[in-house]
Amino acid sequence: MESTVSVSKGVFLFPNGFKKVKSSKKKPESVFFEKLFEEESWYVVYKRNWDLIENVLQDLHHRTYSVLLNDIVNYIKEFSGRNEFSLDGIIPSATLLTGVNQPDHASQFTALLNIIREEITPHVAIINAQDAPSVKHLVENAVRQLICEQSQIDSSDCDDFNVKSKTKLKRGQYTMRALKNWYCSKYVNVSPKKNKHRVPPNTLVIVMPDFESFNCNVLQDFIMIVSSYTSCLPIVIVFGVATSVSALHKSFPYHISSKLLIKVFHSHSSPVYMNQVLDEIFLTHTSPFHLSGKAFELLTDVFLFYDFSVTGLIQSIKYCMMDHYYGDNMKSLCCQPDMLEETILNLSKEDLESIRQLMSFRPFLEQQDCRAKISLFEDDNYFRDVLYKQMNRLYDYLYSFYLCVRLLHAFVQDIPKNLLGKTVREIYTKCAVQDIVETTAFKECMQLLNFQSQMKLVETIKNGLKVVNTSLQNVSPVKPLQVTPKKNNMEDVIVNNHLGEGFVKNVRVHLLMFLRQIEKANTEATIITNSMETDDDVENVPGNRYKLKEKLLKATRVDRVQSEFEMVRLRFVSYLEEVFAKGLQPPHTQTFYEILFFNDVSNVKKQIVGSPRGALHTALSNPAHYLQCTCCQLASSESVVGSLPDLCLAYKLHRECGKHINLYDWLQAFAAVLRPDDDEDRHQHPVVQSRFTRAVAELQFLGFIKSSKRKTDHVMRLTW
Amino acid sequence: MEDIQATVPCRDSQLKELFELLGDGDEPLPCSIFISGNMATGKSLCVNSVLQYLGFKHIEIDCVECYAPKIMYECIICELFEEDENIKCETMVDLFNSLKRIENTREPIVIVFDRAERLRTMDHSIISSFLRLREFCNLNICTIFITHLIYENFYFRMGVREPIRLYFPNYSKEELFKIIFLKQKSFTYHLLFNYEVEDEIKAELDKPELFANFLNAFLSVFYRPCRDLIELQHMARNNFVKYCEPIIRNEIQAQDLTKLWRHISPILKSSLELLYLRISDSKPQNPSPGKENAEHAGSFNFENILKEELTSTKTFAQSFELPYYAKYLLIAAYLASYNPPKEDKRLFMKNHGKQRKRMQQVKAKAKINEKLNTQLGPKVFTLDRLLAIFYAILEDKIGLTSNLLAQIATLVELKLIAGGKEIDLDAAKYKCIVGYDFIAAVAQTVGFNVRKYLYDFI
Q: What is the 3-state secondary structure (H, E, C) of A591-637?
A: CCHHHHEECCHHHHHHHHCCCHHHHHHHHHHCCHHHHCCCCCCCCCC
Taking the C-alpha atoms of residue A667 and residue A714, their distance in angstroms, rounded to an integer, is 12
Residue A211 C-beta-side C-alpha neighbours within 13 Å:
27
Asked if B426 and A706 come within 8 Å (Cβ–Cβ), the reply is yes
* DSSP-derived secondary structure for B405-434: HHHHHHHHHTTSEEEPSS--SSS-EEEE-S
The values of phi and psi at residue A606, to 5°, are: -60, -40
Backbone φ and ψ for A651, nearest 5 degrees, come out as -60, -45
- What does the alpha-carbon distance between residue B304 and residue B315 come to, in Å, rounded to a whole number? 12
Q: pLDDT at position A544, please?
A: 66
> How does DSSP assign A112-159, residue by residue?
HHHHHHHHT-S-EEE--GGG-SSHHHHHHHHHHHHHHHHHHH-TTT-H
Q: Does domain B2-168 have CATH number 3.40.50.300?
A: yes
Q: Where in chain B is the domain with CATH 3.40.50.300?
A: 2-168
CA distances from B50 to A243, A296, A691 (A): 47, 73, 82
Contacts of A308 in chain B (CB under 8 A): 321-323
Nearest C-alpha of chain B: how many angstroms from A195? Answer: 25
A contacts of B70 (beta carbons < 8 Å): 172
Give the torsion sign (CA, A250, A252, A255, A256). negative
Sign of CA dihedral B196, B199, B200, B204: positive
Can you tell me the distance from the alpha carbon of A318 to that of A367, in angstroms, rounded to the nearest whole number? 36
Do residues B432 and B333 make contact, with C-beta atoms less than 8 angstroms apart?
Answer: yes
Q: Count each helix (H run) and each strand (E run) in chain A, helices first.
A: 32, 10
In order along its 458 residues, chain B shows pLDDT tens digits of 677 777 777 788 888 888 888 876 677 788 888 888 887 788 888 888 888 888 888 888 888 888 888 888 888 888 887 765 667 778 888 888 888 877 777 788 888 888 888 888 887 778 888 888 888 888 888 888 888 888 887 776 666 778 888 888 888 888 888 888 887 777 777 777 767 777 777 777 777 788 888 888 888 888 877 777 777 777 777 778 778 878 877 777 777 778 888 888 887 777 765 543 333 222 222 322 332 333 333 333 334 444 555 555 556 666 667 888 888 899 999 988 888 888 777 777 776 555 555 555 656 555 555 566 667 778 888 888 888 888 888 877 777 778 888 888 888 888 888 876 666 666 678 888 888 888 888 888 888 888 888 877 76
Residues of B in contact with A610 (CB under 8 A): 401-403
Candidates A228, A613, A718; nearest CB to B426 = A718
Residue of B nearest to A224 (CA): B64
Exposed / middle / buried, residue A367 (Cβ in 10 Å: 0-12, 13-18, 19+): exposed
The C-alpha atoms of residue B189 and residue B207 are separated, in whole angstroms, by: 12
C-alpha A608/C-alpha A599 separation (Å) is: 14
Distance, CA of B320 to CA of A654 (rounded, Å) = 44
Tell me the three state secondary structure of residue A53.
Answer: helix
Burial of residue A321, with CB atoms counted within 10 A of its CB: 0-12 exposed, 13-18 middle, 19 or more buried: buried
- DSSP string covering A222-246: HHHHHHHHTTT--EEEEEEESS-HH
- pLDDT bin (cut points 50, 70, 90) of residue A155 is very low
Ordered DSSP codes for B48-112: HHHHHHHT-EEEEEETTT-SSHHHHHHHHHHHHHT--SS----SHHHHHHHHTT---TTS-EEEE
- Residue from B121, B229, B318, B321 to probe the interface with A (highest A Cβ count within 10 Å): B321
Domains and CATH numbers, chain A: 82-268 (3.40.50), 359-591 (no CATH), 612-717 (no CATH)
Alpha-carbon dihedral sign for residues A27, A29, A33, A36: positive
Radius of gyration (C-alpha) of chain A in whole angstroms: 35
Contact between A609 and B399 using a beta-carbon 8 Å cutoff: yes
Write down the ipTM of this complex.
0.79
Backbone torsions φ then ψ of A161, nearest 5 degrees: -70, -40
Closest Cβ opposite residue B292 in set A254, A270, A719: A254
Question: Which letter does DSSP use for residue B148 in this model?
Answer: S
Q: Of the candidates B64, B402, B410, which has its C-beta nearest A612's C-beta? A: B402
Distances in Å between the alpha carbon of B159 and those of B32, B36, B130, B251? 15, 22, 13, 69
Question: Taking the CB of residue B156, how many other CB atoms lie within 10 A of it?
Answer: 14
Measured between CB atoms, does A167 come within 8 Å of chain B? no
